[in-house]
Structure 1
Amino acid sequence: MDDRFQDRFAAGRKLAQALQAYAHHHDVLVLAVPRGGVPVGYEVAKALGAELDVLIARKLGLPGHPELAMGAIASGGALYLNPDVIAISGVSRQEIEAVLADERIELQRRETQYRGARPPVRIDGRVVIVVDDGIATGASMRAAVMALRSQHPDRIVVAVPVAPPDAKQRLGDIADDFICVLSPDPFYAVGQFYDTFDQTSDEEVRRLLARSREETP
């Protein structure tokens, strides 16, 4: 097996081959993490004959220590609060609500930027494949998936072209399935496994989402 991808589109085609068990099922939804996950997700959705949308997630930082996550929100009203962090920190409900309000504004701004006036897609009861261009620590993906759980999907599959060897162990307790094409060791950064790893633009995200809607049966 090759140990690199030409670009995100090539990575998506490789990833789609590993996801053929989910091909052409009416209840499958591909949620791509912007921005870099969208070209990958576009190819996955195209190959599986599935609907494509974006999963935008925002970490809920602890007041006074924003680098520490007390939870996360994600597209469609998904919310996860970590009871252990909240209990240990002693943060009040009012403080939580203030952080939530700020992050919901930013989440909505990004939703509008990528989705326009279209409402979020239905999650309840569906098989949701969450796609990114790779995983490093897995912290952001973990928060996004835990928030997504609040919308009651039937199954959550985390699918990436490349991740460290221990990524499945890190995420296995929250995802129903974990699919990864490359699990190299040593692993330093996602970009090292791509020949081309230029930043994906907002315009390209919008273009790929629009194209996928046109192509989806």
Structure 2
Amino acid sequence: MSPMSTDKDLLAEATRVAAAYDLIGMFGHLSYYPEPSGDHYLLSPGAGFQKQKCAGDDVYDVAFDDEWVPGLPLEIYMHSEVHRMHPEVGALVHSHSPALTQLSTLAEVPGEALLLHASFWPDVVPVFEETHLVVERHDAVHLIEQLGDSPLILMRWHGAVIVGATLEEAVFRSIQAEANAQALLTAMASGRPYVSLPAGPERQRTAESVITPRMLGLHRNYQAAQLSSKES
């Protein structure tokens, strides 16, 4: 991405990265809140749009109180309410990735982190239990209340919501959360004992030492180069 890239370009690039990793499929979407004191945010297109082709001109500028209109994601309000209720959240990814979706069907969702780069994984994973899409604002408020200060929440039979302080962090967490979910499912299916990262404050210290702003910047640059190579 060039130095003249706009915030819309950055979200479009992140959307293409998420699509390349099969995180969002037809129904997933991302938001970016570049001005934490503002009442607008940026939102990727809704269902049916070819996310791997998202460009800056395809990104929507949305106000917190805007209502859904065709072209926007049906579940727009999870984005409006997370940025309203938690202005420290710079980006949200609504993921439909395969392993996270499968993990959402387990009666007891594991709180183990099996990968260093997934050391942000919460000890207790919140799960949103509703059987319907989050297409009403009050349901979005309920979802974000359940999310609290967790980096992610699973949506039963549906997928996940992953947040980050920055767009780079949210995309990184989405990729690594899917990898951790896949590692957990594989380890459980093996029937053999497995070793997870320590929980609690020690895991948090691990995350802080491994997932640094420098590493997130390197990861974003790597993903941008990978995209550029595929798109050229």
Q: Give the TM-score taking structure 2 as reference length.
A: 0.27
**Larger relative contact order (CA 8 Å, sep ≥ 6):** 1
Query: Which is strand-richer, 1 or 2?
Result: 1
Q: Give the TM-score taking structure 1 as reference length.
A: 0.28
